[in-house]
């Protein structure tokens, strides 16, 4: 009986402590978001890098946002209207919105911020972006230049285009066109003055940065309520391998059976996994000859198929609007023994941590003489696209496309100096992308025929999250996340 008397109070105390712990967990408004790698810049011009999406989408505001699950929502803009067959767009700005340092977000600051990005894109020779169609864009050479296509009209911001721009709200919501504080860049050179920190123009601000994570907190100066009422007060964004996350970005290719506490939420199958023959334009490389690229590509696809993977030969996802030709024949090949003598380099595919990419790693290990480049960031490879240097012969890339409105995305992928920059060995892709009526089937076939880009698989992008995370107001088609639209259940 004495043992029972001692045990019962002890049991009651433990239960009481457990209830307190659970109560504290229920009341906490901190969420941990796991990302794959550390960031390198807070400049919106680097928004094409996925890591920039992951951190700064919740920190830098745009005129409107398409991260709301039901409709495009005004952020810095309170309302808008379009006219002249979508050639003219007029935005009325919200009053009394403030940066995280307390400075007011004004129409003049917004105009200057947009001009900076347009100038940087223009200097880089970027084509296919909407800014190329602004009236007078050719006269924009510095921030003080005024052009008809982007100006103030009675306190409102006016965009005037040479052609119809029906999807402009989608375009201007892209993080590349985030509004930044003038102190973050040099007015004359346009160079970015901050490294990782930035003055916030949106719902969250950066409170702390260390070697393994960012800590975001609500921007009390912003003065606008968006998204769920029960927001997270703190967001820990970490690339620490040992961190225990509450939410992380992933896709339908991943095996989540070992992580039963997470559920997957995603949109449509619009993701594209592919390999880029990075050294295709380097004489004497393993990628320099078309017949070698085709032989290796077909051998890889057959290898994956024989190992139980669902592969694709179409770069574009099957549900994409206007796409008829979906797959191409894959010939059987014997690996040319001469290619085994190449000392080729690959960016370590197993870094992607899925069975598919592990099998791709196995193919290159089995059939080629190679070295891994597993310590090099994707940023390096994108920078090399504008130079003669090639650190690796093959790199694996994931991207996505708006399958219901794909044409502008297709043009951007081929013509822009930002983003994935699909190579074009003979000019046919650029010609096809410049036609008045773009045929995505011809472009899809030309990508296959050039064999510089190897389609591997399509997937659904999304988020793996724990049960207390509310994603009902978040548009899951837009990768990867904006915590403005994430709540706590």
Indicate if 228 and 370 belong to the same structural domain.
no
For 87, other C-beta atoms within 10 Å of its C-beta total 18
CB 44 within 8 A of CB 453: no
Indicate if 128 and 184 belong to the same structural domain.
yes
**Which residue in 379, 397, 381, 401 sits closest to 389, CA to CA?**
381
Does residue 230 form part of some domain?
A: yes
**Which residue in 136, 165, 129 sits closest to 45, CA to CA?**
129
Indicate if 217 and 337 belong to the same structural domain.
no
Distance CA 150, CA 91 (A): 11
Indicate if 419 and 276 belong to the same structural domain.
yes
Alpha helix segments (H runs only) across 33-157: 50-56, 107-123
As to burial, measured by CB atoms within 10 angstroms (0-12 exposed, 13-18 middle, 19+ buried), residue 172 is: buried
57-95 residue pLDDT tens: 999 999 999 999 999 999 999 999 999 999 999 999 999
What are 453's strand-pairing partners?
Answer: 276
For 450, other C-beta atoms within 10 Å of its C-beta total 20
CB 173 within 8 A of CB 73: no
Does residue 2 form part of some domain?
A: no
Sequential DSSP letters for 396-427: EEEEE--TTS-HHHHHHHHH-SSTT----SSS
Indicate if 97 and 179 belong to the same structural domain.
yes
CB 438 within 8 A of CB 413: no
- pLDDT number for residue 427: 94
Indicate if 156 and 249 belong to the same structural domain.
yes
CB 303 within 8 A of CB 295: no
pTM: 0.81
CATH number for the domain spanning 385: value is 3.10.105.10
Indicate if 44 and 193 belong to the same structural domain.
yes
Give the H/E segment covering residue 19.
helix 2-27
Indicate if 187 and 288 belong to the same structural domain.
no
CB-side neighbour CA atoms (13 Å) of 406? 25
Distance CA 256, CA 139 (A): 53
DSSP β-ladder status, 73-74 and 77-83: unpaired
Distance CA 111, CA 279 (A): 40
CB 444 within 8 A of CB 316: yes
Does residue 4 form part of some domain?
A: no
Indicate if 374 and 476 belong to the same structural domain.
no
Residue 173 backbone phi and psi in degrees, to 5: -80, -10
Does residue 378 form part of some domain?
A: yes
Indicate if 205 and 292 belong to the same structural domain.
no
- pLDDT number for residue 25: 45
Helix, strand, coil percent content, the chain, rounded in steps of 5: 30, 20, 50
Largest CA distance in the chain: 93
- pLDDT number for residue 14: 46
CB-side neighbour CA atoms (13 Å) of 14? 6
What string of pLDDT tens digits covers the 489 residues of the chain? 333 443 445 445 444 444 444 444 445 699 999 998 888 899 998 887 778 888 999 999 999 999 999 999 999 999 999 999 999 999 999 999 999 999 999 999 999 999 999 999 988 877 767 899 999 999 999 999 999 999 999 889 999 999 999 989 999 999 999 999 999 999 999 999 988 999 999 999 999 999 999 999 999 999 999 999 999 999 999 999 899 999 998 888 876 655 788 999 988 888 899 999 999 999 988 899 999 999 999 999 999 999 999 999 999 998 898 998 779 999 887 776 666 667 677 776 766 678 898 899 889 888 777 777 766 676 787 778 777 888 888 988 888 888 877 888 898 889 887 778 899 999 999 999 989 899 999 999 999 999 999 999 999 988 999 999 999 999 988 778 999 999 999
441-454 residue pLDDT tens: 999 999 999 999 99
Indicate if 317 and 222 belong to the same structural domain.
no
- pLDDT number for residue 279: 92
CB 200 within 8 A of CB 222: yes
Does residue 1 form part of some domain?
A: no
CB 458 within 8 A of CB 439: no
Does residue 357 form part of some domain?
A: yes
DSSP SS3 for 80 = strand
Does residue 44 form part of some domain?
A: yes
- pLDDT number for residue 23: 43
CATH number for the domain spanning 466: value is 3.40.190.10
Residue that has been written with the tokens 């919740």 in this structure: 58
Cα dihedral 168, 75, 415, 326 sign: negative
**Which residue in 215, 231, 261, 171 sits closest to 473, CA to CA?**
231
Please give the tally of structural domains in the chain: 2
Domain that holds residue 371: 271-459
* Tokens of residue 103, six digits: 């400075």
Indicate if 193 and 299 belong to the same structural domain.
no
Q: What is the CA radius of gyration of the chain?
A: 25
């Amino acid at each position: 009986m004495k043992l029972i008397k001692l045990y019962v109070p002890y049991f009651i105390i433990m239960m009481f402590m457990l209830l307190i712990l659970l109560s504290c967990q229920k009341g906490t408004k901190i969420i941990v978001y796991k990302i794959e790698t550390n960031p390198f810049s807070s400049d919106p011009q680097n928004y094409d890098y996925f890591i920039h999406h992951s951190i700064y989408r919740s920190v830098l505001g745009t005129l409107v946002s398409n991260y709301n699950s039901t409709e495009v929502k005004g952020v810095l803009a309170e309302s808008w209207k379009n006219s002249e067959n979508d050639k003219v767009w007029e935005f009325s700005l919200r009053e009394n919105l403030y940066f995280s340092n307390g400075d007011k977000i004004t129409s003049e600051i917004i105009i200057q911020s947009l001009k900076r990005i347009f100038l940087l894109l223009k200097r880089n020779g970027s084509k296919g972006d909407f800014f190329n169609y602004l009236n007078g864009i050719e006269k924009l050479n510095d921030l003080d230049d005024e052009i008809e296509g982007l100006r103030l009209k009675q306190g409102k911001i006016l965009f005037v285009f040479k052609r119809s721009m029906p999807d402009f709200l989608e375009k201007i919501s892209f993080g590349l066109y985030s509004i930044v504080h003038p102190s973050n860049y040099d007015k004359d050179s346009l160079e970015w003055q901050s490294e990782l920190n930035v003055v916030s123009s949106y719902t969250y601000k950066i409170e702390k940065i260390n070697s393994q994570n960012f800590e975001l907190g609500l921007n009390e100066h912003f003065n606008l309520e968006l998204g769920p009422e029960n927001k997270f007060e703190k967001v820990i964004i970490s690339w620490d391998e040992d961190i225990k996350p509450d939410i992380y970005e992933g896709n339908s290719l991943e095996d989540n059976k070992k992580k039963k506490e997470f559920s997957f939420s995603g949109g449509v199958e619009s993701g594209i996994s592919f390999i880029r023959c990075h050294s295709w334009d380097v004489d004497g490389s393993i990628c320099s000859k078309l017949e070698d690229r085709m032989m290796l590509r077909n051998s890889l696809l057959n290898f994956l198929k024989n190992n139980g993977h669902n592969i694709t030969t179409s770069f574009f996802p099957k549900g994409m609007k206007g796409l008829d030709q979906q797959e191409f024949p894959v010939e059987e090949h014997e690996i040319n023994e001469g290619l085994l003598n190449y000392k080729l380099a690959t960016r370590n595919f197993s870094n992607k941590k899925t069975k598919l990419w592990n099998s791709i790693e196995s193919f290159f290990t089995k059939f080629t003489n190679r070295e891994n480049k597993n310590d090099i960031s994707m940023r390096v490879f994108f920078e090399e696209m504008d130079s003669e240097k090639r650190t690796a012969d093959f790199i694996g890339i994931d991207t996505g496309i708006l399958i219901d409105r794909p044409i502008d995305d297709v043009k951007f992928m081929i013509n822009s100096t930002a983003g994935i920059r699909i190579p074009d060995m003979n000019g046919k892709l650029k010609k096809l992308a410049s036609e008045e009526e773009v045929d995505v089937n011809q472009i899809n076939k030309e990508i296959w025929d050039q064999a510089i880009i190897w389609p591997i698989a399509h997937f659904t992008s999304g988020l793996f999250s724990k049960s207390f995370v509310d994603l009902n107001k978040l548009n899951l088609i837009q990768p990867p996340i904006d915590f403005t639209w994430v709540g706590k259940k």
